[in-house]
Amino acid sequence: MNSEVQALLSSGVTLTDAALERLLPSATTEPHSIHRAMRHSTFAGGKRLRPILCMEAARMVAGTGQIPEGAADLGAAIEMAHTYSLIHDDLPALDNDDLRRGQPTCHVAFGEAIAILAGDALQNLAFQVISNLPAPPATIVAILHDFALAIGTGVGTPSALPPGMIGGQVMDIEGEGHKPTPELVERIHRAKTGALITTSIVCGGFLGLATRMGVPSIPPFADGWDADSSRSPDIIAALRTFGESAGLAFQIVDDILDMTQTSAELGKTAGKDTASDKATWPAVYGIEQSKKDAADLIADGFAALEPFGPAATPLKSLAQYLVDRTH
Amino acid sequence: MNSEVQALLSSGVTLTDAALERLLPSATTEPHSIHRAMRHSTFAGGKRLRPILCMEAARMVAGTGQIPEGAADLGAAIEMAHTYSLIHDDLPALDNDDLRRGQPTCHVAFGEAIAILAGDALQNLAFQVISNLPAPPATIVAILHDFALAIGTGVGTPSALPPGMIGGQVMDIEGEGHKPTPELVERIHRAKTGALITTSIVCGGFLGLATRMGVPSIPPFADGWDADSSRSPDIIAALRTFGESAGLAFQIVDDILDMTQTSAELGKTAGKDTASDKATWPAVYGIEQSKKDAADLIADGFAALEPFGPAATPLKSLAQYLVDRTH
């Protein structure tokens, strides 16, 4: 990992954790048990990749060189949604996992009832944080809309897009025990993992556009793209293409790591996907083809970012890290 | 029940069900199982009280005599949130109920995993519907903010207000097996039931204000209140007071009915509150005092609506029905 990416990740974790610390209820706020449970799972050592992608997309689009106001809060909201999905995924009725990021899962530490409600509360708090973003109301509504679609089951999603995260969770459950087809694996990955990663980048872009429009002196990107109304849809579309490619690549690499790493290296139970006959990319294509597919997807993502010129370098470095990582 | 209330309830159910039918994914949309589960619990014969209160609050504030555009969708979103909370409340790890509104509960019909995810998806879809409301972005953001606070655990809630619905669920669980105190019962009821009923009325008011501001020819309410910026907070505050009183009265009556009705009359397991030593109003105050408290609360609610003049008659009739009902 080069030092530029290391610095991005390190400062991104710091910013995200500070926002989460500020936005989550303290462990001494009544009712205690759920707030302790929400903190337990949120501060269990996540890599904060989604918030970091969100903040860097916002910075790139804003054009000020700075991470725009509110982007850390938006990233924290997305991390809350990610954490809620992990808490519910780990429940006995779903994946029945006792260990996550090297820690006892939420229901192991706090019981099933509180774990279910802590997941519910994190989902809800994510939306509450979005309602408070320091951004124009139209920007908040655009973020709300894209974020809700990304979490959902595909209702109201344009047919070209995969269902959202919950839709992916359901397809994953329904697919267990069947031989996975290439089409189904791709659909599940794009929904269960890809949709939330994509919305992290797209919503960061919405926030960046709002900042950019407030600073008329910022020159357009290399090819003339700017935040005026006629070109901003192109900017969002490019971010979406990048996010979809990076999100799928990320999950393919996750599948590879699950097959090739130990539980200690992963901080969660390794080999579970294979044991439960889960739909994974290597199960369909083998390890070598999977590595090639991940690399090709990252190249597609890079191409989508070309119009942003040199401002896209940090996002590209992060995407490269997603496929090069070893845990 | 007088014929005016009967007509309000009947047309309100029709409008709500039509909106839910349109907004929920069809049972044949992939992935099928979760969409069938979402519909199973949403269309299990609910009284639609929250959507009806929402639509009538919107109508009263709008001043056009009509239910404003979007109010049925907003009501449907609130009903989705209510349904999600019931699905999760009924789970084995929480109340472990097999029967709800005379039907098998979601996890009995579809399994625990799908029930958990169906609840998650209904919560999310409620927010997605709010993002699509035909209202100015600032109105959508105001609705989003109040609605999210009402569902949550009290984070960001002004200290004068009770925590939201999930906070109430947690306090309810934590309180089981202990002798309930009057203060705790009131806090749980205001959070678990009152907050969602209150936001139904308040958010209806936000939508009504947006409509009213678009029609300058509408005369002010009897006492001069209008939708201009200086008086609209008074309008929302009055709706909140009404909602808090009506919501608490509603739950007190629910507690009384749980003790005095059979399961067949209620369409759910009667006497469960007493059996599990749940915090209820009659357990603290007895049946007769509980009836008096509910009536007093409704009188407080009526007083809060006085400034709206005759336009408040439908909301008052609905509140009266909430305490007079027998199931």
pLDDT tens figures, B193-239 = 999 999 999 999 999 999 998 888 888 887 677 777 678 889 999 99
Domain B3-324, CATH among 1.10.600.10, 3.60.21.10, 3.30.950.10, 1.20.120.450 = 1.10.600.10
User: Which helix H or strand E contains A99, and what residues bound it?
Assistant: strand A99-100
Subunit contact A121:B24, Cβ cutoff 8 A: no
Subunit contact A127:B119, Cβ cutoff 8 A: no
Subunit contact A88:B120, Cβ cutoff 8 A: yes
Subunit contact B155:A29, Cβ cutoff 8 A: yes
pLDDT at A2: 80
pLDDT at A7: 95
pLDDT band for position A62 (cuts 50, 70, 90): very high
**Cα dihedral B254/B255/B256/B262 (nearest 10):** 80
pLDDT at B38: 98
Task: Using the predicted structure, report yes or no on whether residue A274 has a pLDDT greater than 80.
Answer: no
CATH number for the segment(s) A3-23+48-68+135-324: 1.10.600.10
Task: For residue A117, list chain B residues with Cβ-Cβ distance below 8 A.
Answer: 88, 166, 169-170, 173
Q: What is the mean pLDDT of chain B?
A: 92
Rounded mean pLDDT, A239-243: 97
Task: For residue A113, list chain B residues with Cβ-Cβ distance below 8 A.
Answer: 91, 93-94, 173
Task: Using the predicted structure, report yes or no on whether residue A206 has a pLDDT greater than 90.
Answer: yes
0.85 surpassed by complex ipTM:
yes
* Contact yes or no for A56/A68 (Cβ under 8 A): no
Subunit contact A117:B156, Cβ cutoff 8 A: no
Rounded mean pLDDT, A135-160: 89
Subunit contact A166:B34, Cβ cutoff 8 A: yes
Q: Which of B131, B151, B171, B187 best probes binding to A when mutated, by most A CB atoms within 10 angstroms?
A: B131
pLDDT at A269: 67
Please say whether the dihedral angle defined by the alpha carbons of residues A258, A263, A266 and A268, taken in this order, is positive or negative.
Answer: positive
pLDDT at A197: 98
Q: What is the pTM of this model?
A: 0.95
Residue type, A33: S
Q: Which of B78, B80, B82, B128 best probes binding to A when mutated, by most A CB atoms within 10 angstroms?
A: B128
Q: How many CB atoms lie within 10 A of CB A217?
A: 6
Rounded mean pLDDT, A46-51: 95
Task: Using the predicted structure, report yes or no on whether residue A157 has a pLDDT greater than 70.
Answer: no
Subunit contact A137:B138, Cβ cutoff 8 A: yes
Task: Using the predicted structure, report yes or no on whether residue A180 has a pLDDT greater than 70.
Answer: yes
pLDDT at B269: 67
Q: What is the mean pLDDT of chain A?
A: 92
Which residues in chain B land under pLDDT 50? none
Question: How large is the greatest C-alpha to C-alpha distance in chain A, in angstroms?
Answer: 58
pLDDT tens for A297-314 read 999 999 999 999 999 999
Which residue from A88, A121, A127 is facing B153, i.e. has the nearest CB? A121
Alpha-carbon distance A256 to nearest alpha carbon in chain B (angstroms): 26
- As a whole number of angstroms, the distance between CA B196 and CA A22 comes to 25
Task: Using the predicted structure, report yes or no on whether residue A275 has a pLDDT greater than 70.
Answer: no
Chain A from 102 to 141: CB within 8 A of any B CB:
111-114, 116-117, 119-121, 123-125, 127-128, 130-132, 136-138, 140-141
pLDDT at A87: 98
For tokens 């990107």, the residue is A221
The residue ranking higher by pLDDT, A35 or A226, is: A35
Task: Using the predicted structure, report yes or no on whether residue A272 has a pLDDT greater than 80.
Answer: no
User: Which helix H or strand E contains A100, and what residues bound it?
Assistant: strand A99-100
Task: List the domain boundaries for chain B.
Answer: 3-324
Residue A219, judged by CB atoms within 10 A of its CB (0-12, 13-18, 19+), counts as exposed
Chain B from 240 to 279: CB within 8 A of any A CB:
none
Which residue from B34, B88, B164 is facing A153, i.e. has the nearest CB? B34
Residues 6 or more apart whose CB falls under 8 angstroms from that of B21 comprise none
The string of DSSP letters for B199-254 reads HHHHHHHHHHHHHHHT-TTSPPPTTS--SSTTTHHHHHHHHHHHHHHHHHHHHHHH
Rounded mean pLDDT, A115-134: 98
